[in-house]
């Protein structure tokens, strides 16, 4: 029972982090129609900035907010400096074909990931460094027995739920949220309605960058930061999106939790080596039997 | 007043609109009719900024608007209810209407609220369905919603693209009559693009007949309607 509860809470806190990564990916996907492979590069970069601030003796929360801002600014910069110019028609007929026009920004995002990793390597000389958690990461004891969760698990789960709630309220209740949904669903009708879809898309990148940075900060107490330390998390987050349904915000978030629990239970009851086999098995099963994702609505899907 | 001057539009190498000119008078209904492929929709999409013209100009109340972004064209007072009753199916009726007024919200919150209420008065069926997803509406209701979404921005010029497409004659009649009443009462200028020439010419003041991207005739609607040789040659009835 103790083992089960341990796996359960670890899975919940891990799933919460995957859900954040998935949320960040979906926000950009819905607005811009691309999988942003640079996302965890942005998160890695902001985690380095935060850890530098903490090494200088700054407060955890100041570092936390700095990381958010760095992630958000990187998001805006990628959209404005790289993705927008790529939307312009080029002179070459091959580059103007619809499939290339979809592929080019994705390839560009991979390039940005490389640049961010190289930059981080140059600035921080590839130091592997840790990053503290704001609360203890060892299990608390309840009446002499150690509880199946740590304060940090609860902190992560609580913060992630607050972020998910805030995001969904923002999207469903506010005017800017309506503009975001409209731009994502049908940008032509949105533009004819007077919505500045370009700025709205950039806002999606900004929120996605901030959300990804939080995910990065939550992972780093467990694994040290290195320029490429968050690459695997991106793959898991992407798998979560595909399993849950890329078009569905809630689907992707649930996909994150499904993977969190799966990896945690496999790690405890089976061997950790099987974790990635399980993730890819789930991915393949979903792609075979429900290619739009478990909670996805659209029949067709561009991948 | 909307003035189209020698406007040409092409897609890649295909010329869809070649050198057309006409005027849509303020407070009047001008209809652009013609067969499929005549360039009617291209014309409207160019006016609303979705397509950039190859040459020629569009002047709106004295200023040149060709090449502006659609979101700025709306701000200049030109709203389009696009072809195919385009609304956003995943959003509710209320959200679709609100969407058309978002850009005015910060400056004029009270008027936006009033404008939304007016849309429900204009089309009571939308009021009954305001919390339903737009995807659940009938074709006629979707067209009403597309028009409301355009009107809620309080345009001076309404561009209507084939409102009759796929709808029962009774509903077409109802929608067209609502728009024409609005035009008479509020001085709204309407540019109505239609394949259903008879219905359009019935309510319009002025008619422009397009064929293969060129203006074949531009005359008072009643006169165009009475011209049997034009009708037979270009509209096939």
Q: Pairing mode, if any, of strands B2-11 and B55-60?
A: antiparallel
- Residue B82: list chain A partners with CB under 8 A: 188-189, 192
Q: Kindly state whether B69 is in contact with chain A, defined as any CB-CB distance less than 8 angstroms.
A: yes
Pick the more confident residue, B30 or B13.
Answer: B30
pLDDT above 70: percentage of residues in chain B: 99
Q: Note the pLDDT tens digit of each residue in B51-80.
A: 999 999 999 999 999 989 999 999 999 999
- Rounded to the nearest integer, the mean pLDDT of chain B is 91
Residue A202 lies in a domain: yes
Provide the pLDDT for residue A298: 60
Phi, psi (deg, nearest 5) at residue A67: -65, -45
Provide the pLDDT for residue A77: 97
Q: Is-contact B210 B219, C-beta < 8 A? A: no
Provide the pLDDT for residue B237: 64
Q: Could you say which DSSP state residue B92 is in? A: B
At B218 the three-state DSSP class reads strand
Sequence-distant (6+) residues with CB within 8 A of A67 are A46, A47, A49, A50, A213, A214, A216, A217
- B31 pLDDT above the threshold of 80: yes
Residue A201 lies in a domain: yes
- Closest residue by Cα to residue B30 from B18, B19, B17, B43: B43
At A230 the three-state DSSP class reads coil
Instruction: Give the tokens for residue A193.
Output: 């309605």
Query: How close does chain B come to A172, measured CA to CA in Å?
Result: 10
Number of domains making up chain A: 1
Residue A113 lies in a domain: yes
Task: Of A27-41, A263-277, B182-196, give the lowest mean pLDDT range.
Answer: A263-277
Gap between the Cα atoms of B82 and B75, Å rounded = 17
Q: What is the 3-state secondary structure (H, E, C) of B29-77?
A: EEEEECCCCCCHHHHHHHHCCCCCCCEEEEEECCEECCCCCHHHHHHCC
Provide the pLDDT for residue A302: 44
Longest dimension (CA), chain B: 53
Provide the pLDDT for residue A246: 86
- Rounded to the nearest integer, the mean pLDDT of chain A is 88
Terminal CA-CA length for chain A: 41
- A303 pLDDT above the threshold of 70: no
Provide the pLDDT for residue A301: 44
Identify which of A175, A178, A192 has the shortest CB distance to residue B80: A192
- B107 pLDDT above the threshold of 90: no
pLDDT above 90: percentage of residues in chain B: 69
Identify which of A175, A189, A191 has the shortest CB distance to residue B88: A189
Q: Kindly state whether A277 is in contact with chain B, defined as any CB-CB distance less than 8 angstroms.
A: no
- Residue B48: list chain A partners with CB under 8 A: 192
Task: Of A138-142, A169-173, B126-130, give the lowest mean pLDDT range.
Answer: A138-142
Sequence-distant (6+) residues with CB within 8 A of A86 are A104, A105, A108
Residue A220 lies in a domain: yes
State mean pLDDT over B182-196. Answer: 92
* Gyration radius from chain B CA atoms: 17
Residue A98 lies in a domain: yes
How much is the pTM? 0.89
Give me the CATH number covering residue A230: 1.10.3470
Residue A196 lies in a domain: yes
Q: Note the pLDDT tens digit of each residue in B202-227.
A: 899 999 999 989 999 999 999 988 88
Please give the residue range of the domain that contains residue A15: 2-132+149-289
Residue A300 lies in a domain: no
A194 and B80 within 8 Å at the Cβ level: the answer is no
Q: Is-contact A23 A252, C-beta < 8 A? A: yes
Beta strands in chain A (DSSP E): 141-142, 145-146
Residue A140 lies in a domain: no
């Amino acid at each position: 029972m103790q083992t089960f509860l341990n796996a359960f809470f670890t899975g919940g806190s891990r799933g919460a982090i995957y859900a954040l990564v998935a949320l960040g990916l979906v926000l950009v996907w819905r607005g811009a129609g691309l999988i942003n492979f640079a996302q965890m590069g942005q998160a890695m970069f902001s985690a380095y900035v935060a850890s530098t601030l903490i090494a200088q003796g700054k407060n955890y929360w100041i570092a936390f907010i700095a990381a958010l801002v760095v992630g958000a600014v990187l998001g805006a910069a990628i959209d404005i400096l790289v993705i927008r110019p790529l939307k312009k028609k080029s002179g070459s007929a091959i580059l103007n074909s619809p499939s290339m026009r979809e592929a080019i920004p994705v390839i560009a995002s991979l390039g940005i990931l490389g640049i961010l990793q190289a930059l981080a390597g140059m600035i921080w000389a590839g130091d592997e460094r840790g990053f503290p958690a704001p609360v203890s990461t060892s299990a608390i004891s309840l009446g002499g027995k150690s509880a199946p969760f740590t304060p940090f698990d609860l902190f992560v789960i609580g913060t992630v739920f607050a972020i998910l709630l805030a995001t969904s309220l923002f999207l469903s209740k506010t005017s800017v949220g309506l503009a975001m949904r409209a731009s994502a669903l049908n940008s032509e009708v949105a533009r004819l309605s007077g919505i500045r879809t370009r700025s709205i898309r950039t806002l999606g990148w900004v929120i996605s960058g901030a959300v990804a940075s939080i995910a990065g900060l939550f992972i780093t107490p467990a694994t040290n930061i290195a320029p490429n330390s968050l690459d695997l998390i991106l793959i898991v987050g992407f798998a979560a999106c595909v399993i849950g349904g890329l078009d569905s915000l809630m689907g992707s978030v649930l996909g994150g939790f499904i993977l969190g629990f799966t990896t945690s239970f496999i790690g405890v009851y089976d061997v950790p080596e099987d974790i990635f086999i399980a993730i890819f098995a789930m991915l393949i099963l979903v792609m075979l039997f429900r290619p739009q994702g478990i909670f996805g609505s659209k029949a067709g899907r561009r991948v | 007043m909307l003035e189209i001057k020698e406007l040409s539009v092409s897609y890649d190498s295909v010329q869809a609109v070649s050198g057309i000119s006409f005027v849509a008078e303020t407070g009047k209904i001008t209809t652009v009719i013609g067969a499929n492929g005549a360039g009617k929709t291209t014309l409207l999409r160019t006016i609303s900024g979705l397509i950039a013209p190859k040459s020629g100009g569009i002047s709106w109340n004295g200023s040149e608007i060709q090449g502006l972004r659609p979101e700025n064209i709306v701000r200049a007072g030109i709203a389009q209810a696009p072809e195919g009753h385009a609304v956003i199916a995943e959003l509710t009726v209320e959200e679709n209407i609100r969407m058309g007024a978002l850009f005015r919200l910060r400056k004029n919150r009270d008027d936006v609220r009033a404008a939304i209420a007016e849309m429900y008065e204009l089309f009571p069926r939308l009021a009954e369905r305001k919390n339903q997803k737009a995807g659940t509406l009938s074709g006629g209701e979707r067209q009403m919603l597309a028009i409301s979404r355009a009107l809620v921005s309080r345009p001076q010029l309404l561009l209507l693209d084939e409102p009759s497409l796929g709808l029962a004659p009774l509903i077409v009649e109802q929608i067209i009559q609502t728009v024409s009443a609005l035009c008479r009462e509020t001085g709204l200028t309407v540019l109505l693009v239609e394949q259903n020439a008879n219905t359009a010419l019935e309510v319009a003041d002025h008619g422009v007949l397009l064929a293969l991207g060129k203006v074949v005739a531009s005359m008072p609607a009643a006169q165009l309607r009475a011209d049997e040789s034009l009708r037979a040659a270009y509209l096939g009835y």
